[in-house]
């Protein structure tokens, strides 16, 4: 990224040598990311983030099916970057069915089948829930739509799933898929939207100068794009070992934390990088703040909640005390057992001082 900012800083749309160089860099980066996703490079469009990708996908998919109907299916535990645009579409006359998970946090394809109607124009389902780590049956839903010969489009928010669990929009038959660089160690401020080749005349997000083949105009963020591609290259190198490492650390962490009185598991997330637990009966914000002061960074849920109660745990129907104490532990390729041990010691100390009788 530094090299692009200082040496390859031309405008990719410009007709001078620095521009040609920047354009080549952008397209090479697009090919790297598309290769990891298993799609053609010209099916991938750069955006500023996953939220932008989700908004574009949802609004344009609704417009695409405007002559078919106004019914949309989603889950009650999607990221706010999906739920909020759908609330806006409801105000414009769309009907949204929100599927609720079971107490383990799981959603089934059967729920989608039961909700599917002739006037359904869109199903939006995340690949991995960002708070529980539950993997949703996106491939099964795509197969269901083919079997029903439904014209509804399938959008998948894969921000938490890309390069962490299987993610194959082309072979699965997904129409739209949202990505974000910072979830795989890339820079913040760059995302992408996969648009299937079958979607002709897809509605542009930003009309203007014609960048991104006329669908998302605006000068390309060349440094962020290069950073996104480099993060993909780095993550794909020995990916199987990295995923196994994260899964092993998750299991190790879960086992250790469950020895602390009052700690319970939340959900049955199988993604290797997210562990959801609860210190029952104590506000998770206090846990996060106190452990943060000791240099241990965990989360009370999505960073986008900003301290508000989680809609995910509400939809799961967790008991109030369990929901209040939930926290999320995230794992990356560089996380170590020493990091987990530091978390364990800090949480054990916190519990002993706050719950001396447990």
Catalogue the active-site residues. Answer: 304
Using an 8 Å Cβ cutoff, are 277 and 263 in contact?
A: yes
How do beta strands 274-279 and 326-330 pair?
A: antiparallel
Cα–Cα distance for residue pair 256/341, rounded to 1 Å: 8
Please give the torsion angle defined by the CA atoms of residues 127, 225, 44 and 29, in that order, rounded to the nearest 10 degrees: -110
Cα–Cα distance for residue pair 226/267, rounded to 1 Å: 36
* CA proximity to 263, closest of 253, 250, 273, 249: 253
* CA proximity to 55, closest of 222, 226, 191, 211: 191
How do beta strands 263-265 and 326-330 pair?
A: unpaired
What is the gyration radius of the CA atoms in the chain, in angstroms? 21
Q: Which helix (H) or strand (E) holds 344?
A: helix 337-354
DSSP character for 182? Answer: G
**CA 278 vs CA 58, 285, 295, 305: distances in Å:** 33, 12, 20, 17
* CA proximity to 10, closest of 184, 226, 195, 157: 226
Cα–Cα distance for residue pair 219/17, rounded to 1 Å: 17
Residue 274 forms beta bridges with which residues? 330
* CA proximity to 299, closest of 160, 161, 189: 160
Using an 8 Å Cβ cutoff, are 85 and 54 in contact?
A: yes
* CA proximity to 247, closest of 357, 335, 140, 353: 335
């Amino acid at each position: 990224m530094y090299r692009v900012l200082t040496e390859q800083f031309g405008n990719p749309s410009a007709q001078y040598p620095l521009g040609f160089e920047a354009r080549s860099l952008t397209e090479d980066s697009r090919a790297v990311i598309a290769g990891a996703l298993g799609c053609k490079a010209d099916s991938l469009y750069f955006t500023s983030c996953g939220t932008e990708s989700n908004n574009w996908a949802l609004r344009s998919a609704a417009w695409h099916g405007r002559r078919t109907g106004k019914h949309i299916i989603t889950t009650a535990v999607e990221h706010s970057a999906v739920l909020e645009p759908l609330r806006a579409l409801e105000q414009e006359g769309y009907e949204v069915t929100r599927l609720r998970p079971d107490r383990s946090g799981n959603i089934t394809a059967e729920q989608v089948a039961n909700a599917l109607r002739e006037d359904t124009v869109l199903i939006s389902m995340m690949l991995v829930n960002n708070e529980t780590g539950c993997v949703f049956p996106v491939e099964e839903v795509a197969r269901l739509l083919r079997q029903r010969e439904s014209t509804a489009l399938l959008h998948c928010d894969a921000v938490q799933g890309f390069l962490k669990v299987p993610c194959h929009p082309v072979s699965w038959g997904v129409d739209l898929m949202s990505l974000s660089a910072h979830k795989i160690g890339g820079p913040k401020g760059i995302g992408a939207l996969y648009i299937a080749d079958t979607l002709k005349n897809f509605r542009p997000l930003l009309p203007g100068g014609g960048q991104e083949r006329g669908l998302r105009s605006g000068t390309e963020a060349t440094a962020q794009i290069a950073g996104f591609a480099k993060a993909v290259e780095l993550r794909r190198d020995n990916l199987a070992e990295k995923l196994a490492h994260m899964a092993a650390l998750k299991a190790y962490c879960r086992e250790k934390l469950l020895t602390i009185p009052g700690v319970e598991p939340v959900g049955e997330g199988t993604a290797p990088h997210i562990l959801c637990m609860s210190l029952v009966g104590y506000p998770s914000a206090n846990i996060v703040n106190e452990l943060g002061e000791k240099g241990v960074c965990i989360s009370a849920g999505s960073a986008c909640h900003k301290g508000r109660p989680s809609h995910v745990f509400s939809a799961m129907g967790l008991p109030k005390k369990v929901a209040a104490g939930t926290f999320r532990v995230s794992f990356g390729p560089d996380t170590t057992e020493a990091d987990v041990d530091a978390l364990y010691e800090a949480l054990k100390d916190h519990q002993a001082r706050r719950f001396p009788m447990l």
